[in-house]
Structure 1
Amino acid sequence: MRLCRPWAPLVGLLVAGIILLSLSRLGLVIWQWDRVIAQKALTTVLLQGLRVDLIQMGLWLLPLALLAPLIAHDKTWRLWRWSLIIWGSLTLTVLAFMEASTPAFIQQYDLRPNRLFIEYLQYPQEVASTLWHGFKLPLILGLSLTLCVLMITWRTLKRRLPHHPPKGHSIRLLMTWPLVILLLAGMIRSTTEHRPANPAMFALTADPLVNSLILDSTWSVEFALYNLQHEAHSSSIYGHLSDQAMLATLRHGDMPWLNPNASLPTLHTQTATYARAKPLNLVIILEESLGAGFVQSLGGQALTPELESLKSQGWWFENLYATGTRSVRGIEAVVSGFMPTPARSVVKLSLAQRHFFTLADLLKQQGYHTEFIYGGEAHFDNMRSFFTGNGFDQVVDQNDYKNPMFTGSWGVSDEDLFHKTDQRLQQHTQSGQPFFTLVFSSSNHEPFEYPSGRIQPEGPIHSVHNAVRYADYALGQFFDQAQQRDYWHNTLFLVVADHDVRVYGNELVPIKHFHIPGLIVGADIQPRKIKSITSQIDLPPTLLSLMGINSQHPMPGRDMTQASQQAAQGRAMMQFADNWALMRGQAVTILQPEKPALAGRYDATTQSLTLTGTASSAQSRDALAHALLPAWLYQQRRYHLQADQPPMIAKQASNQSMAYK
């Protein structure tokens, strides 16, 4: 124990911080008792909350621990003592202030402080007025509590910290310093999984508020600040167009229904091509890393015979292109119909965690039960948080599988996934409620693990080719079973890849690796080949039309059930690193940061892109408008249903000009 004495001040701060945060969380739980109990999440909130608090305190204590060997000895003891007093007081004061701010923020936004907390600092007058007139008592109590914590912490540290170092202090500190740093690093990382802990890891219920109670408000805001540096790198790197010029360009091009003067410019009415007395159910199967190159013969033998056999039963998209190279990019396109940007996918961005359009949001308002089924951990890539905040009633992930037949690095096998899916679809059918189910596979993910005895592997067992064979086998087993179920005749199935397994090449945008398979089957769908160039963002509007759903939505994609769209040459948008491509037929326009747009031609037969020089002003303007739109819609929070208006301060809700420079 004597060895640990040099770290007593840090241990004291750790305990004080944990107590402060835990008491605040307990108070919030009591306040929101009905919602916590409805999710059966009391134990989860308290225990996982403690884990979050350890992460938070580790972040605050790490700077002191790193400095200790330099200043925690005889000659610099005074500096060390005052560092402890100032930093310790600042730590507990900030934590207290954020927790004191939380109840009022929850009342307004039904979540702990997040990105909006930071954004509203731009409007101090409006915020101060709102707080004083609407939250006067919480404001006074919060500021008083914060001031009390500051005074108590300051006085306690000044009184208890010695003015001179104890005997042997420096030696004991140096001996234990590596262990302390290791412990703090473990606290901060909080997991042995692929990535460190993040807020999405704690989105463990279907209620976003309950999920946010697990966090502490300081960490929530800190993570929002961290995300800001990624969001700042927006499509503006490609050039400048005023808002009105951007919207006008799109209106005279692909989006004639666009209303530049509306608060939600892309919101429009879509009338279903297929009129149905009762709309169909929907199941989207997102296949991990299944590029179009795999859905072909390799050395004379097809890698995906099951998918090949299904092609003759439904709509097969021969020229379908992914919008990006990550799963979350595929998710945002297929589930939200959102166009790609050079920033991270909206699945991971702060402003899209609530009040952002998804098919689930639309269908939920039409009485559908909505769910996401995954074989791995749903917090990965922030999926759980995005889904539960935007219309999904339920999330099924690895923790919900009892005795799976196989579990690999990325979760249970695709067979387990589809077995669970079949069970869920049968349950929904028995309940009589229409359903939308998003299924995301994971077996075709490096290190390519799958159950033995299902396929005849060739070459290295854990290769991508064998993983594709297994994924196809599992998919075929599911459809053989699904076609015998009652739900088959009133359910539409989309099978589509999120992206290719590896997108690479020496081209500015390796278009051939954006080519992916897409198939719509089920119900009364008749075989058809769609030859027009199609983007992932065209799939959601097409599905709604085939389901027989008339709707109003903000998706800019094309309804491929319309004969005019099938006859058109089509277009696709692709984001690759910092480059962005718009392909119309064979013509390609490529945008690069701080450079003129380039023109080129893509030969689908040879799968090669040939650059022909600088793009014309019309080509450049067309591509730039398409690249700027999604970033503008996201930043302005204008991509949602009319009835799902995000709360805003009046000034922020006003018509702002956002010219990109």
Structure 2
Amino acid sequence: MTGLGWAEILFPGLINDLVVSVYVTLPLTLWLAGIPQRLFARPGHRRAMSGIILLALAAQLFLLLAECVFWGEFAARFNFIAIDYLIYTTEVLTNIWESYPILWLLTAVISAAALLTWGFQRGGLLMPWQNSSTSSHARWSAAAVHLAAVVILAFTFTNQTAIFQNGNACNAELAGNGIHSLFAAYHQNQLDYNQFYRKIPLAEIGPRLRHCLTEPNAAFISDEPLDIRRHIANPGPEKRWNVVVIVEESLSASFTGCLGGKALTPNVDRLADQGLLLTRCFATGTRTVRGLEAITLSIPPTPGQSMLRRPDNGDLFSLGRLFRERGYTTTFVYGGYGRFDDMNAFYSANGYDILDRSSPNATPQTFATAWGVCDGDMFQWALRAADADHAAGRPFHQLIMTTSNHRPYTFPEGAIDSPQKRRSSAVRYSDHALGAYIDDAATRDWFANTLFVIVADHCHSTAGRQKLPLDKYHIPLLFYAPGRVPPRSVDTVCSQIDVAPTIFSLLGWSYESQFFGLDVLNLPKGEGRAPLGTFQTLALLEQKTGNLTLLEPVRRLACETWALTTPFTQMAAKTKTNPANCIALYQSASLRHQLGLDRLSPDVHPRMPAPVTALHLQPKENL
């Protein structure tokens, strides 16, 4: 490396480290400014300050060690992968314990910190922290300057690396600061696909996307690689049905008898006999916000956090958007406080009215846990809102998110004959509340003109021997409209991103789509596919071959073959699969959001800027 290269690392790195030091030393500054002068000379305060210095040095050395290990694997400062590690503590800590001599490393860190503290003490460097004659006024003046610096920096340095983002990605990462990068990653809630995952050339994305999104009744509007707009032509006349999408918390297929589960859901099973059941539907992720993202936006799970929790996530092309364009009211109904996981903020920014526990008309509230009121209460809110829309002559779309099948697994006494605080009982109660809601809705005038969609947000557990065990992603998807949607079962592989296109197919609507999902009812036999993943593992299951392609940082690729009959089992791979379709799907979805193409109106879809193309889309390695 040249001297200029070192300068690009060391000088910005020093500034970034100084920026972080201003943040982390603020509590100590405020403490030293606020304590009485007499405390400085007391032995207890001296020992406390020595202990704080010891802990600070130990933490700094531990972070240095952790960053070295992280860099060795990902060639990057802390990012959303590190956030992911903090979320999956059991798996990660077990892996770390098995991979590194943790006890020896911790002993070395603590010993080094103690030795440095002793050296600073002997050299007199800690004296200003332990005994000071500075006046209280002077100390508070210094604290005010420190606090002002923090405020200024908070509005100035907001990127992962505070300053000097040069063209050399490696140098930019080295010049960063791990603590600042970690907080920036948490704030941004995303992981840069272009930096960490396999890519294909931009020219190949267009044909691959068209292959993934091809339907018999779809016609693409342009040849732009990232422009997925297409005209969907469904046979009319269009139906003006009300549409209620009920997202059931943690309703795994393993609980539902109609999918070969434990038969804990007699009402879901009853409705499945009378409706259209998708028997091979898979959740896109492992968290509620992932399920809501897929159902609302019809997009695959891009790396990092769900779109619900990212900044600048308003005015996206969505399920509700198409309903509003045709004069529907759109309402998000949630039994808890929708500020959790930024659900209210997301749905408000995307045109939904909010009906949650804090709403004035959210009554009754007869039973509640920390997560929200019981499903029975919440369904009463939804019924009353539907009654009001129907009385006003407005067609309505409701997106209802339940909460009862969640810890602590409690529910109103006497509602069902099952013990409290058991998951199986919570499943039974959720099913009971759903059945009572459907039966109550059947007495309404609007029921005969309403399509109900019942789907889970995710499974109750995703732990398994495989990275993405299919049985831990298998969920029910049911379309219920007696007398309008004939009862039957469909075994096409699909996921939550296919909910919206299939709804509009049942309604017979022709529209311009930007959905990544497909109409499951209109696919050739055996052509189904399902994207699924975790915060950083991205996968695509293809029905025709049973292949599951997995993409992971740093540009790692794995291919598995599964038998798609329950119970799902992993098989020896018969042939090497081509991962290009999987890569094109996720690469394009990430880039569309990065470039803002998913936030534009359908009639304003410009060509991709050439500078952005050159910077972000050229692959580091071709397949």
Overall identity of the aligned pairs, in %: 28
Gaps of 5+ in 1: 1-57, 99-113, 124-220
8 Å contact from structure 2 (residues 275, 479) kept in 1: yes
In the aligned structure 1, how far is the partner of 2:186 from the partner of 2:430?
34
In the other structure, the counterpart of 1:43 is none
Q: Are the counterparts in 2 of residues 267 and 641 from structure 1 also a CA contact under 8 Å?
A: no
* Distance change (3 Å), C-alpha of 1:456 and 1:520: same
Match of 2:368?
407
Shift of 1:66: 5.6
Structure-2 change in CA distance of 1:60 and 1:368 (3 Å): farther
**Aligned counterpart, 1:302:** 263
Alignment counterpart, residue 288 of structure 1, candidates 242, 245, 249 = 249
Residue 87 of structure 1, CA deviation:
1.1
Residue identity opposite 1:462 in structure 2: K
Q: Deviations over 1:601-636 (max 9, x none)?
A: 2342332123528x73x6221222222222112111
1:555 pairs with 515, 520, 527, which one?
515
1:532 is aligned, of 486, 492, 495, to 492
Aligned partner letter, 1:265: D
Tell whether the 8 Å contact from 1:258 to 1:267 is kept in structure 2 after alignment. yes
1:259-298 equivalent positions in 2, closer than 5 A: 261-262=223-224, 265-273=227-235, 275-276=236-237, 278-296=239-257
Task: Describe the superposition over 1:460-493 as per-residue Cα deviations: whole angstroms up to 9, x where unpaired.
Answer: 5211111000000000001111112111121111
542-551 vs 651-660, which deviates more? 651-660
Which residue of the other structure, out of 141, 147, 166, is the alignment partner of 1:88?
147
Higher helix share: 1
Which of 496, 503, 522 is equivalent to 2:481? Answer: 522
Contact 1:264 1:554 in 2 (8 A): no
Q: 2:567 is matched by which residue type in structure 1? A: T
The Cα of 1:441 is off from its aligned counterpart by: 0.2
The one of 125, 132, 137 equivalent to 1:75 is 132
- 2:283 touches 2:457 (CA, 8 Å); kept in 1? yes
What is the total number of aligned residue pairs between the two structures?
Answer: 483
Instruction: Say which SS state the counterpart of residue 597 (structure 2) adopts.
Output: coil
Residues 533-566 of structure 1, C-alpha deviations (whole Å, 9 max, x = no match): 111111100101212322112102111232xx16
Q: Which amino acid aligns with 2:240?
A: P
For 1:208-287, list aligned pairs within 5 A.
Answer: 225=184, 227-228=186-187, 230-234=189-193, 236-255=195-214, 257-258=219-220, 261-262=223-224, 265-273=227-235, 275-276=236-237, 278-287=239-248
Q: 1:607 to 1:237 in 2, by over 3 A?
A: same
What TM-score, normalized to structure 2? 0.69
The alpha-carbon deviation at position 577 of structure 1 amounts to 4.8
Who is 1:477 aligned against? 436
Gaps of 5+ in 2: 1-22, 34-44, 50-127, 167-179
Residues 427 and 646 (structure 1), Cα distance of their counterparts in 2 relative to 1, 3 Å cut: farther
Match runs of 1:585-600 below 5 Å: 585=543, 586-594=546-554, 595-600=556-561
Is 1:567–2:525 an aligned residue pair? yes
- The verdict on how the C-alpha distance between 1:632 and 1:76 changes in structure 2, with shifts beyond 3 A counting, is farther
Indicate the residue corresponding to 1:64 in structure 2. 29
2:412 corresponding residue in structure 1? 451
After superposing the two structures, state which structure 1 stretch, 286-295 or 261-270, moved more.
261-270
Counterpart in the other structure of 2:274: 313
Structure 1 position 334, deviation (Å): 0.7
Alignment-mate amino acid for residue 349 of structure 2: G
User: How well do the aligned residues superpose, as a CA RMSD in angstroms?
Assistant: 3.8
- 8 Å CA contact 2:212, 2:585 repeated in 1: no
* Alpha-carbon shift at residue 338 of structure 1 (Å): 1.0
2:357 equivalent in structure 1: 397
Kindly provide the CA deviation profile for residues 141-186 of structure 1, in whole angstroms up to 9, marking residues without a partner as x. xxxxxxxxxxxxxxxxxxxxxxxxxxxxxxxxxxxxxxxxxxxxxx
CA distance in 1, matches of 2:264, 2:503: 27
SS at match of 2:579: helix
1:554–1:67 Cα change, 3 Å: farther
CA distance in 1, matches of 2:614, 2:416: 59
| Correspondences of 1:93-492 after superposition (within 5 Å) | 225=184, 227-228=186-187, 230-234=189-193, 236-255=195-214, 257-258=219-220, 261-262=223-224, 265-273=227-235, 275-276=236-237, 278-296=239-257, 302-352=263-313, 354-400=314-360, 401-457=362-418, 461-492=420-451
1:292-337 Cα deviation digits (max 9, x unpaired) = 0000289997210011111122111111111111101000111110
Q: Which moved more, 1:78-87 or 1:443-452?
A: 78-87
Alignment partners' CA distance in 2, 1:626 and 1:433: 37
Q: CA deviation at 1:67?
A: 6.1
1:254–1:290 distance in 2 versus 1, CA, 3 Å:
same
For residues 131 and 539 of structure 2, what CA distance do their matches in structure 1 show?
62
Alpha-carbon distance in 2 for matches of 1:246, 1:648: 15
SS at match of 1:282: strand
Deviation string, structure 1 residues 270-307 (Cα, Å, up to 9, x no partner):
1234x235521211000000010000289997210011
